Amino acid sequence: MMDIEGIKAILPHRPPFLFVDEVLEISNDRILAKKNVKEDEYFFTGHFPGEPIMPGVLMVEAIAQAGGVMLLRSRRNAIPLFMAIDKVRFRKIVKPGDTLILEVRLVQDRGKVVKITGTAKVNDILACEATILAGIRE
């Protein structure tokens, strides 16, 4: 397990653009992490007033950041950069008070380019899934 301070020691992201709160399980090719979707998240102010919904692109970002924690544990001071996002599907609306469980698996690692696949679930219901190609800048 890893708390927010351990995550911040690995990822270059900082609030309000840090979307991983806790790591539940981690290995070299799989991570299970958590994002608590709080009512005071900055994006709820405009998306949408009176009907707050977490933007889908931020769910994809949360998946990517969880993958970043998994990949950058052994590559300190590196920065992960999106190269491509494929097979993205949004299946469920995510609202304030929900907890996203992020599961990411390493598909391919070519050193400076990695491919991961991930899901974000709320109460075991799939909210988002994506395949991400990322560059790792040392």
pLDDT digits (tens, 9 = 90+) for 75-92: 888 999 999 999 999 999
- The alpha carbon dihedral of 109, 125, 35, 57 has a sign of positive
The verdict on whether 13 is a catalytic residue reads no
pTM, rounded to two decimals: 0.97
CATH number at residue 92: 3.10.129.10
Please tell me what DSSP assigns to residue 62: H
Quickly count: other Cβ atoms within 10 Å of residue 18's Cβ: 17
pLDDT in tens, 76-132: 889 999 999 999 999 999 999 999 999 999 999 999 999 999 999 999 999 999 999
Instruction: Identify the domain containing residue 97 by its residue range.
Output: 4-137
Paired residues of 116 in beta bridges = 106, 132
In the set 47, 91, 92, 95, the catalytic residue is 47
Task: Say if CB 61 and CB 16 are below 8 A apart.
Answer: no
Total structural domains in the chain? 1
